Amino acid sequence: MHRGGTRSTSMTNELSAAARSGLAEILRCDRESDMARVRGLKEDGCEAIDTLHAQLLDLMRTREPRRKLDDAQAEQAVAAFLAERGSAYGAWVHYPWSRRLVRVLEEAEFVSLRTDRNRHKITAAEQARLWSKKIGVVGLSVGQSVALTLASERNCGELRLADFDTVELSNLNRLRCGVHELGLPKTVVAARQIAEMDPYLKVVCFDRGYAAADAEAFLHGLDAVVDECDSLDVKLQLREAARSRGIPVLMNTSDRGMTDIERFDLEPDRPLFHGRLGAVAPASLAGLSTEEKIPVVLDIIGLETSSLRLRASMLEIEQSIKTWPQLASDVALGGAVITDVVRRLMLGEPVRSGRYYFDLSEVGKDASAPASVPAQAPVADAPHRSRACARARDGDVRDRIVADASLAPSAGNAQPWEWIKTQGGLLLRHRRSAGRSMLYHEDRAAMVGLGATLESALLSARHHAHDAEVQWRWRGDDIAFVALAAASGEASDALYPQLFRRRSVRARPSEAAPIAQTALDALDAQARRFPGVETRFLTDRKAIGALAELVGAAERLRILDPESHADMVNEIAWSNAEHRRDGEGIPMQALSLSAAEVAGLKVLADARVVARLADWRLGGGLGKLAHDLVASSSAMGLIWSPGDSCADYLRGGRALQRVWLEAANWDIGLCPVTSLCYLLRALRRGGPMTAAQTETLSALEQGFRELLSLPQDRGDIALFRLLPAAGELDRPRATHRRDAFS
């Protein structure tokens, strides 16, 4: 009796028993003890399947293809074979999991016949060489396809399978197994299928995956290892161990057929993952959540070369899907590609390290269709950027005033202003931007920025001992003329020093600290300096949570809208060099994002990804950042006006700047959260939008009005968050400014 080709190394006795159910029992027909075992199994009810004679006929015909044996000649050849080998030829294979006994050829003839159709794509000499090879496979999703294809071609004589997981129903979209195998170790399922295909092929199962305790047993003597596991730390540990032993590592990602080859047998100093991860310790990757894995996975597979559908799906992880999607077609392709590479590698053919693609989506594709691989983010057309940050010129107070005025806030840090030095003062003009979405409807967002820069200029003028008189123009893009005259005596405003501390605070503390009512009263007093400007504040946690839901829903709507998405992409300075050069936009480091969130934002920059989410009616997680920003706030504030004219919004912008500076004076951080306000205004004013957008925004408008006790006719100038942030305000400013002079 021979226990087939499968054995198991297991972590527990219970798991070992389960793994042993994957062993095939080979019982030789020429051994009486084995035949007694066969008779006992038959009596015990095992199904006996005896096709040995048909196998022998097939064997005879393949041995003499030139003769084209007819039935009689084939029967004569079988009789001659059995006369030579004896009537007790063959073996019975007992498959205990299916209670079957199957009679097969003995090993040499079985292997020869089973691989006969490989010839001469694989010659007999090459096949014999392959049978001496040992291949390890870690991870049995894509890895199962690899293992079964390797076994089917018999490109090795021993397979070592490592996976700690069991089969779940959600695996069956890509794993070749049945519902009766749910709950079984994946190693057992793969070993059973290999045993049913080829009971003589040796399979060793490592039921706890690639574990430190079994590393030596798993890797010793391997000729190649295939990495298809999900654990990032294990991927790194496996490569380090393989490199130290000179074992080549192969990997397929089941996306665009991407295949990595790392020839550590030829390149002992080759950096892991082609150097894409840098010097990362495996321990730092252990225990990461699915969300935390995203930036590391993107570093490994490359954001710019992953498929559009995969990138769109990444944004839905832990929203509408639990983890990475995989398709059976991609997994099957991965099994085929890896098997082909293993065969050529084992036969000593030239196989170079590197990354290779076998993109099925390109098959039959219209040559005029756009490429499936995107350019790196951002993909939206960037508007023309202005010159570098404003610098005060020596000797002219107007230069110093404009330098201070340029520190004012504006939507997307677009700085919609130009200052022109004229006789006796400064002219403020509206510098129009490329913004064209609902958020920029009728220039109201720009008016807020213009009001903020105007108020900053007035603060600066007083600080520099000048009286300033505002003379409104409202002609074309001319907004106001600020007449300047030297003042007698000191007239500086106490808020002036806060111009240099003011910044958007986007920290998201796990627990929000309260803000004193006296501080909120001080902010309200600053806003009410301007006739017609009103405020609302929320401090109740339940109310803030309800507002967070509204803001998150609005942000999702904003991102899914093509024009609003393009504006969002253009507002972000995607590199420090870009931001320093242009002095506009919001730099990435100012957004206070985790590595996973940065990765998600880069994925989101591709308009095609967003369009795909819109087509799928998904994107539930797109508003999460905005939601969390509000939900983690100590208080929320709204500056609003009963009027809705450009003058109302400009006045509101002046109020916003003073409120912001007063908040800084109290060591309170402020950050605008304005998408909801301007989307609701576009709804009220009949801005361009789809029926679905109208329906969603109508519900948000009702909830917003009820939550903040607002009238229907109004102008929502600025919604903002507040939280204690003394340390944040004294850090170096992350955003730069362009030259504000025309």
441: pLDDT confidence band, cut at 50, 70 and 90? confident
> Is the residue at 388 inside a domain?
no
With a cut of 80, say whether residue 393 has pLDDT above it: no
Do residues 96 and 196 share a domain?
A: yes
> Is the residue at 382 inside a domain?
no
Per the CB < 8 A criterion, the answer to whether 25 and 96 are in contact is: yes
With a cut of 90, say whether residue 36 has pLDDT above it: yes
388: pLDDT confidence band, cut at 50, 70 and 90? very low
20: pLDDT confidence band, cut at 50, 70 and 90? very low
Do residues 298 and 437 share a domain?
A: no
Do residues 192 and 302 share a domain?
A: yes
With a cut of 90, say whether residue 282 has pLDDT above it: no
Does residue 331 or residue 6 have the better pLDDT?
331
Q: What is the pLDDT of residue 296?
A: 85
Do residues 250 and 321 share a domain?
A: yes
Highest mean pLDDT among 397-406, 484-493, 582-591, 720-729: 397-406
Per the CB < 8 A criterion, the answer to whether 207 and 19 are in contact is: yes
With a cut of 90, say whether residue 738 has pLDDT above it: no
Under the phi-then-psi rule, with left for phi > 0, alpha for psi from -120 to 50, and beta for the rest, what region is 592? left
Do residues 144 and 22 share a domain?
A: yes
Q: What is the pLDDT of residue 590?
A: 86
Q: What is the pLDDT of residue 742?
A: 59
pLDDT (tens digit per residue) in 667-701: 999 999 999 999 999 999 998 899 999 999 999 99
Q: What is the pLDDT of residue 577?
A: 78
Q: What is the pLDDT of residue 371?
A: 56
With a cut of 50, say whether residue 378 has pLDDT above it: no
Long-range contacts of 356-359 (CB under 8 A, 24+ apart): 356/257, 356/258, 356/259, 356/261, 357/256, 357/257, 357/258, 357/259, 357/305, 358/256, 358/257, 358/259, 358/333, 359/256, 359/257, 359/307
314: pLDDT confidence band, cut at 50, 70 and 90? confident
pLDDT (tens digit per residue) in 406-440: 999 999 899 999 999 999 999 999 998 766 777 78
- 3-class DSSP assignment, residue 634: coil
In this structure, what CATH number is given to the domain that contains residue 441? 3.40.109.30
Q: What is the pLDDT of residue 713?
A: 95
Q: How far apart are the first and last CA of the chain?
A: 93
> Is the residue at 391 inside a domain?
no
66: pLDDT confidence band, cut at 50, 70 and 90? very high
Domain count within the chain: 3
Q: Is 0.95 topped by the overall pTM?
A: no
Per the CB < 8 A criterion, the answer to whether 259 and 337 are in contact is: yes
394: pLDDT confidence band, cut at 50, 70 and 90? low
> Is the residue at 457 inside a domain?
yes
Do residues 34 and 151 share a domain?
A: yes
Per the CB < 8 A criterion, the answer to whether 60 and 69 are in contact is: yes
In this structure, what CATH number is given to the domain that contains residue 676? 3.40.109.10
Last residue of a domain, one of 463, 497, 531: 497
317: pLDDT confidence band, cut at 50, 70 and 90? confident
Q: What is the pLDDT of residue 697?
A: 96
Q: What is the mean pLDDT of residues 476-497?
A: 89
Do residues 329 and 221 share a domain?
A: yes
> Is the residue at 735 inside a domain?
no
**Poorest-confidence range of 140-154, 427-441, 445-459?**
427-441
Do residues 516 and 485 share a domain?
A: no
Q: What is the mean pLDDT of residues 454-481?
A: 95
Q: What is the pLDDT of residue 49?
A: 98
Do residues 348 and 403 share a domain?
A: no
Structural domain containing residue 476: 397-497
Q: What is the mean pLDDT of residues 394-416?
A: 91
Do residues 493 and 605 share a domain?
A: no
In this structure, what CATH number is given to the domain that contains residue 233? 3.40.50.720
**Poorest-confidence range of 346-360, 423-437, 444-458, 579-593?**
579-593
Mean of all residue pLDDT scores within the chain: 90
Q: What is the mean pLDDT of residues 396-413?
A: 94
> Is the residue at 390 inside a domain?
no
pLDDT (tens digit per residue) in 348-375: 999 999 999 999 988 988 766 655 554 4
**Poorest-confidence range of 127-131, 200-204, 314-318, 479-483?**
314-318
DSSP H helical ranges for 500-638: 517-527, 541-560, 562-571, 576-582, 595-604, 607-616, 624-631
Q: Around 229, how many Cα atoms within 13 Å sit in the side-chain half-sphere?
A: 26
Last residue of a domain, one of 315, 335, 362: 362
**Poorest-confidence range of 49-63, 309-323, 373-387, 507-521?**
373-387
Do residues 547 and 486 share a domain?
A: no
With a cut of 90, say whether residue 295 has pLDDT above it: no
Cα–Cα distance measured from residue 294 to residue 88, given in angstroms and rounded to the nearest whole number: 60
Cα–Cα distance measured from residue 5 to residue 26, given in angstroms and rounded to the nearest whole number: 9
**Poorest-confidence range of 68-77, 124-133, 136-145, 481-490?**
481-490
> Is the residue at 239 inside a domain?
yes
Q: What is the mean pLDDT of residues 3-27?
A: 56
Q: What is the pLDDT of residue 8?
A: 52
With a cut of 80, say whether residue 111 has pLDDT above it: yes
With a cut of 70, say whether residue 611 has pLDDT above it: yes
Per the CB < 8 A criterion, the answer to whether 195 and 5 are in contact is: yes
pLDDT (tens digit per residue) in 534-554: 999 999 999 999 999 999 999
381: pLDDT confidence band, cut at 50, 70 and 90? very low
Does residue 174 or residue 731 have the better pLDDT?
174
With a cut of 50, say whether residue 63 has pLDDT above it: yes
With a cut of 60, say whether residue 46 has pLDDT above it: yes
> Is the residue at 574 inside a domain?
yes
Do residues 349 and 485 share a domain?
A: no
Neighbours of 447 (CB within 10 A): 24
